[in-house]
């Protein structure tokens, strides 16, 4: 009975996507025979769910209108948490991408319009990254403000904060007037949230970390512009003024120049590290770890020449690892 109940819930989740499912596809998803899948469909009908049969060569089964599901009671912060968690779930787990997409659709369908709008505000572009280290904390209110402005094409005014997240007083030497920004895209890369915007003050494109901004909405609309080059990933990775620092306070933090382009290094770099574009064939990677050997070990995974290492302790760790490996003796084959 538990297996049947589990299949019924899974079947309801599949039908809740709104598409029409051929019987063979449902059976394959549930990993049962077509006869069992048809019996599970009848079970849903007995429970009061309007499972409709669609005739024809492209027919199958879908969930009809008028069904009632238990209400989902989420406050604003819970809705944001769901949107962020589902959209930034690690892609390195096999099969998770399809499940998170279906879950996001299911949750959105059950939400009131106001919360659905909040979730839509955070529909973002996520650049692929294979290491999942936590990024810096971010204010949900700032994220909501920026996401809504991107979705509605509304101008923002934003102060640039210090690296520790504090605002700069007007009487301080490093104070700068708030920028008027046309926000175009939200991007998640290496564990950080970035805003791609056109700066109306300086008449140029810029990339800012959202956790380094204090944004305020204006309600004034703008006409979207074409991003130079049209490539979000390349634009973020090659923008030198993103305000990046290593995300965590590691015991050891070092950097090296790699004979690889920034887009290749960023594809494999640990989340929270800093990738600098130097030229089309070289980049600088700054990262942290629990030991200098750990930093050296991550750099070695790029399988390329390293130069200009900092600090000297990192160079020593690389040399010690190299010496350790050169003294290894092959294991004799078993007799």
pTM summary value: 0.58
Residue 244, domain member (yes or no): no
Are residues 146 and 202 both part of a single domain? yes
* Domain range enclosing 185: 140-237
Task: Indicate whether 333 belongs to any domain.
Answer: no
Residues 207 and 156 in one domain: yes
Looking up residue 290, the CATH number of its domain turns out to be 3.30.70
Which CATH number belongs to the domain containing residue 15 in this structure? 1.10.10.10
**331 within a domain of the structure (yes/no):** no
Q: Who contacts 275 (Cβ-Cβ below 8 Å, separation ≥6)?
A: 190, 237, 262, 265, 266, 269, 283, 284, 285
* 193 and 144 within one domain: yes
What is 218-278 written as a DSSP string? Answer: EEEE-PPPPPTTS-HHHHHHT-TTS----SS--SEEEEEEESS-HHHHHHHSPTT-EEEEE
CA 5/CA 260 separation, integer angstroms: 52
* Whether residues 206 and 147 fall in one domain: yes
Is 17 found in the same domain as 49? yes
In this structure, is residue 247 part of a structural domain? no
Same domain, 186 and 227: yes
High-pLDDT (> 70) share of the chain, %: 81
Residue 151 and residue 230 in one domain: yes
Average pLDDT, the chain: 81
Residue 285 pairs in a beta bridge with 256, 275
| Within-domain flag for 177 | yes
Looking at residue 89, its pLDDT comes to 63
Number of domains in the chain: 4
More confident residue, 191 or 289: 289
Task: Classify residue 173: in a domain, yes or no.
Answer: yes
pLDDT confidence of residue 175: 82
Q: Please identify, among 209, 237, 265, the residue that sits at the C-terminal boundary of a domain.
A: 237
Confidence at residue 190, expressed as pLDDT on a 0 to 100 scale? 66
Name beta bridge partners: 284.
257, 276
Q: Are residues 261 and 312 in the same domain?
A: yes
How far apart CA 66 and CA 49 sit, in angstroms, is 9
Q: What is the pLDDT of residue 92?
A: 44
pLDDT of res. 93: 45
Asked whether residue 135 carries a pLDDT value surpassing 60, the answer given is: no
Is residue 197 domain-resident? yes
Q: What tokens does 76 get?
A: 């604003």
186/232 same-domain check: yes
- Looking at the predicted structure, is the pLDDT value of residue 324 above 60? yes
| 156 and 223 assigned to the same domain | yes
Measured at the CA of 330, the angle between CA 328 and CA 333, to 5 degrees, comes to: 155
Q: What is the pLDDT of residues 214-268, one digit of tens each?
A: 999 999 999 999 998 888 877 887 776 777 766 557 889 999 999 998 878 877 8
The answer to whether the bond into 301 is cis (omega within 30° of 0) is no
Higher per-residue confidence, 334 vs 203: 203
Q: Do residues 256 and 192 both lie within one domain? A: no
Report if residue 51 sits inside a domain. Answer: yes
Digit-coded pLDDT (tens) for 260-307: 988 788 778 876 678 888 888 999 999 888 899 999 999 999 999 999
Q: Are residues 212 and 159 in the same domain?
A: yes
């Amino acid at each position: 009975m538990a297996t049947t109940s589990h299949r019924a819930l899974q079947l309801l989740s599949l039908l809740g996507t709104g598409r029409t499912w051929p019987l063979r596809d449902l059976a394959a998803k549930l990993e049962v025979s077509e006869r069992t899948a048809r019996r599970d469909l009848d079970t849903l009908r007995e429970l009061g769910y309007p499972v409709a049969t669609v005739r024809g060569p492209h027919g199958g089964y879908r969930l009809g209108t008028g069904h009632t599901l238990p209400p989902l009671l989420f406050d604003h912060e819970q809705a944001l948490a769901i949107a962020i968690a589902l959209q930034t779930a690690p892609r390195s787990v096999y099969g998770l991408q399809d499940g998170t997409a279906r879950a996001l659709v299911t949750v959105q369908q059950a939400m009131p319009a106001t919360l659905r709008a909040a979730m839509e505000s955070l529909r973002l572009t996520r650049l692929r990254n294979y290491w999942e280290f936590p990024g810096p904390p971010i204010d949900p209110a700032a994220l909501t403000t920026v996401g809504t402005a991107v979705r509605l094409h509304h101008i923002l005014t934003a102060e640039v904060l210090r690296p520790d997240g504090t605002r700069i007083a007007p009487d301080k030497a490093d104070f700068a007037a708030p920028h008027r920004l046309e926000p175009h895209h939200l991007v998640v890369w290496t564990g950080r949230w970035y805003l791609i915007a056109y700066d109306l003050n300086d008449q140029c494109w810029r990339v800012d970390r959202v956790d380094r901004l204090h944004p305020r909405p204006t309600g004034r609309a703008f006409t979207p512009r074409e991003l130079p080059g049209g490539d979000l990933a390349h634009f973020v990775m090659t923008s030198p003024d993103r305000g990046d620092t290593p995300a965590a306070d590691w015991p050891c933090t070092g950097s090296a120049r790699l004979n690889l382009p920034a887009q290749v290094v960023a594809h494999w770099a640990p989340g929270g590290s800093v990738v600098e574009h130097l030229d089309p064939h070289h980049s600088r990677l700054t990262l942290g770890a629990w030991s200098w050997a750990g930093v050296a070990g991550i750099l070695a995974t790029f399988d390329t020449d390293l130069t200009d290492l900092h600090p000297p302790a990192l160079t020593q760790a690389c040399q010690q690892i190299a010496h350790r490996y050169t003294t290894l003796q092959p294991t004799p084959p078993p007799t």
